[in-house]
């Protein structure tokens, strides 16, 4: 996994060198800014706004923010980060960034239709947009210059294949955000490859105690469920507790990483985590926007730039745990 990340980083930095030679110039997470000072050392080379659907304190989105801010320091650009799980408020944050005439916008599209008008305003104002994480199938249509993330259905297929190999025949796929198209795509992918029965259960990521109770009740009411797939690291921990407390023998896997998930994989409580390497979902879009502003470079050729899926298992969880200490995993 670390080798792959280094290869991607090296490739992008190589493009940056070439660009420099050839051309010129839930609840809301409050705004944070990364000051300029990396590449140029003097005045900021631009201001880029990152606006996601991640709430404050979400471990996954904290790593995305770390990646974006690190790229801002690298290239001497100002990066602001804000997140709000409410699509309407997320759209307002995009509108605000447009009114401030930022040099580029990075936006996750868990609910693309709710953001369409606001993204159109950015495009009309000739502000380049990079979409990340969710909404890849709408990115080009909405006018974004590229999308950075993983194919959710492909990742779901990979998870289904691994669970099938572990002998799972009846799977509970736990959805933690209503209306998030990417989560449905993950469950669809798992359904396509598991070869068994897949049921869906809706929980609320902002109420983890409630999620534990709901998963536990489902497992107790249907003891034939022998596998659980969660789509969020915090919900994975809730599911682990539900399996333990309910006396279930269901095998657990999840999407996305946190320190608790890595620990649980090492302890044998979670089979694996699908890793979309979210640090890159922060770092790469700022890199791409910097290159676009500096040199009109575009990346992807109209296709998404994939950051996953990879898989963290007991075999490599120890390595990932060491990398997580600096906020990059």
For the chain, report the end-to-end CA distance as a whole number of angstroms: 10
Residue % of the chain over a pLDDT of 70: 87
Q: Span 55-82, mean pLDDT?
A: 93
Cα(262)–Cα(319) distance, rounded to whole angstroms? 10
Same domain, residue pair 164 and 141: no
Structural domain range at position 287: 2-150+277-308
Share of the chain above pLDDT 90, in %: 78
Q: How confident is the model at residue 184 (pLDDT cuts 50, 70, 90)?
A: very high
User: Does residue 157 contact residue 193 with C-beta atoms inside 8 Å?
Assistant: yes
72 and 204 share a domain? no
In CATH, what number is assigned to the domain containing residue 227? 3.40.50.2300
Q: What is the pLDDT of residue 37?
A: 44
Q: 95-119 pLDDT, tens per residue?
A: 999 999 999 999 999 999 999 999 9
* pLDDT tens per residue, range 204-222: 999 999 999 999 999 999 9
- Token pair 């996305």 is found at 256
Question: Does residue 17 fall inside a structural domain?
Answer: yes
- How confident is the model over 77-92, as a mean pLDDT? 96
Q: What is the pLDDT of residues 242-277, one digit of tens each?
A: 999 999 999 999 999 888 999 999 999 999 999 999
Residue 169, in any domain of the structure: yes
User: Among 22-36, 85-99, 179-193, 211-225, which stretch is predicted with the lowest mean pLDDT?
Assistant: 22-36
For residue 280, the model assigns a pLDDT of 96
pLDDT band at residue 34 under the 50/70/90 scheme: low
Do 111 and 9 lie in one domain? The reply is yes
Residue 301 has pLDDT above 60, yes or no: yes
Answer yes or no: do 271 and 137 share one domain. Answer: no
Residues 296 and 184 both lie in one domain: no
Residue 284 to residue 12: CA distance in whole angstroms:
8
Of 5, 51, 12, whose CA–CA distance to 28 is shortest? 51
Residue 20 has what pLDDT? 34
Q: Which pTM value belongs to this model?
A: 0.77
**How many domains, the chain?**
2
Claim to verify: residue 139 and residue 165 sit in the same structural domain: no
Determine the Cα–Cα distance for residues 232 and 24; give it in Å rounded to an integer: 42
Please check whether residue 321 lies inside any domain of the structure: no
Q: Are residues 121 and 157 in the same domain?
A: no
Q: Does 319 reside within a domain?
A: no
Give the closest residue to 253 by CA, choosing from 297, 312, 170.
312
Q: Tell me what pLDDT residue 179 has.
A: 87
Statement to judge: residues 141 and 49 lie in one domain? yes
3-state secondary structure of 68: helix
Measure Cα distances from 216 to 209, 238, 247, 276, 311 in Å: 11, 9, 9, 27, 26
Same domain, 28 and 97: yes
291 and 164, same domain (yes or no): no
Per-residue pLDDT reduced to its tens digit, 162-178: 999 999 999 999 999 98
pLDDT band at 31 (very low <50, low <70, confident <90, very high): low
Claim to verify: residue 144 and residue 281 sit in the same structural domain: yes
Q: Provide the pLDDT for residue 29.
A: 64
In a domain? residue 248: yes
124 and 244 part of one domain: no
Burial 37-57 (b: 16+ CB within 10 A, else e): bbbeeeebbbbbbbbbbbbee
Q: Where are the alpha helices (DSSP H) in the chain?
A: 2-22, 59-75, 87-99, 112-124, 136-142, 152-165, 181-194, 208-221, 233-246, 259-266, 278-295, 317-324
Q: If pLDDT is split at 50, 70 and 90, which confidence band does 24 have?
A: very low
Question: In which band, very low, low, confident or very high, does the pLDDT at 25 lie, cut at 50, 70 and 90?
Answer: very low
Q: What is the mean pLDDT of the chain?
A: 88
pLDDT score of 246: 96
> Is residue 9 predicted with pLDDT exceeding 60?
no
């Amino acid at each position: 996994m670390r080798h792959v990340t280094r290869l991607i980083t090296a490739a992008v930095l190589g493009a940056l060198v070439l660009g420099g030679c050839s051309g010129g110039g839930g609840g809301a997470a409050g705004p944070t800014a990364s000051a300029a000072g990396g590449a140029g050392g003097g005045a900021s080379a631009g201001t880029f706004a990152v606006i996601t659907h991640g709430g404050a304190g979400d471990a996954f989105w904290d790593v995305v923010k770390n990646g974006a801010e690190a790229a801002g320091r690298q290239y001497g650009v100002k990066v602001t980060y804000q997140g709000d799980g409410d699509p309407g408020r997320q759209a307002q944050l995009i509108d605000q960034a447009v009114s401030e005439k930022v040099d580029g916008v990075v936006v996750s599209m868990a609910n693309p239709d709710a953001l369409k008008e606001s993204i159109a305003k950015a495009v009309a104002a000739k502000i380049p947009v990079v979409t990340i994480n969710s909404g890849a199938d709408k990115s080009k249509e909405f006018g974004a210059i590229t999308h950075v993330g993983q194919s959710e259905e492909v990742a779901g297929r990979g998870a289904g294949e691994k669970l099938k190999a572990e002998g799972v025949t009846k799977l509970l796929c736990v959805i933690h955000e209503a209306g998030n198209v990417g989560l449905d795509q993950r469950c669809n992918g798992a359904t396509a490859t598991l070869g068994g029965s897949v049921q869906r259960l809706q929980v609320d990521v902002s109420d983890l105690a409630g999620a534990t109770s709901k998963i536990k009740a489902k497992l107790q009411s249907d003891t034939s469920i022998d596998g659980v797939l969660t789509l969020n690291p915090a919900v994975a921990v809730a599911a682990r507790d539900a399996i333990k407390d309910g006396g279930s023998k269901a095998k657990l896997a999840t999407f996305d990483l946190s320190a608790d998930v890595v620990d649980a994989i090492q302890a044998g409580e979670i089979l694996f985590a699908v890793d979309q390497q979210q640090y890159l979902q922060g770092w790469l879009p700022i890199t791409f926007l910097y290159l676009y502003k500096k040199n009109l470079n575009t990346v992807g050729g109209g296709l998404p730039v994939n950051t996953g899926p990879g898989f963290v298992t007991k075999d490599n969880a120890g390595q990932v745990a060491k990398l997580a200490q600096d906020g990059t995993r």
